[in-house]
Amino acid sequence: MPSAEITPEMRAEAEEHIRDHALGEAERIGKLSRIREFVLGAQDGLLVPLGVVTGMAAAHPTRSLIIVAGLAEAVAGAIAMGSGSYLASEAEEKLYASEIKDEGQEIVDHFDREVAELAIVLEQEGLPKEQAEHVALGLAANPEVFLRTKVQKELGLSPDQGGAAFGDALVVGGTYLVAAIVPLWPYLIFSVHRALVASLVCTLAALFALGIVKGLVARMTLIKSGLQVAIVGSVSAGVGFAIGHVVTAISG
């Protein structure tokens, strides 16, 4: 059973926990959530250039043509991925801001109804009717707290979220460009045949490692996660190689 009241000792312990743990947890989770952008950029940065250079190698062009095609794709892909991530995140942030603004206006225009709505939501979550109404009225006494609670309970949004569009774009675009080096570098050193083998081996190993990182962060089975990402890379390379052969056969 919960205590009948919050004692000074309980409050002091809670304040210490918030200061030492809870606030840091929110920051840590926010950083971990960026793994989505990292995995997206790295996976595409490995897969797409791999498909391009593998397809080019199957068509038997000169090594310089493969390098130019791979570098062009890497730069264009990084720009496209970064700008696409920025535009998507910015649109999402504007939508959230608009929803929060509309909710605030509803509170101004229909205050009593909004208080009653929050009481109903709290009641549906398990609070007794009288207690739900008491809590809703208490929150309504502070407009800022009331809006935050309404936004969280009814819209499922956080008033503090947003502002990450530019950072997300940098992570996606930058990771894509760096990852693209893996399937491309062998063509700068070896003959086309040797480079093809080295590119495949290095890229599949990098994809497996990326899957391991993804598994660590998402708390998935590490080997399974690594194999999943590596298998996707194998399919991409196979498709690229097949397309190169088909195009060569048709054009020849």
Greater pLDDT, 64 or 96: 64
Most confident of 64-78, 101-115, 116-130, 140-154: 64-78
Contact 60, 193 (CB under 8 A): no
Q: What is the rounded distance in angstroms from the CA atom of residue 109 to the CA atom of residue 12?
A: 39
The model's confidence at residue 108, banded by pLDDT at 50, 70 and 90, is: confident
Closest alpha carbon to 154 in 104, 223, 110, 194: 104
Percent of the chain topping pLDDT 70: 81
Check residue 1 and give its pLDDT.
Answer: 43
What pTM did the predictor assign?
A: 0.73
**Contact present, 150 and 115 (Cβ < 8 Å):** no
Average pLDDT over residues 36-45: 84
CB-side neighbour CA atoms (13 Å) of 3: 7
Evaluate whether 147 touches 159 at the Cβ level (below 8 Å).
yes
Task: Tell me the per-residue pLDDT of 207-238, one tens digit each, with 9 for 90 and over.
Answer: 899 888 888 777 778 888 888 888 887 887 77
Q: What is the pLDDT of residue 202?
A: 93
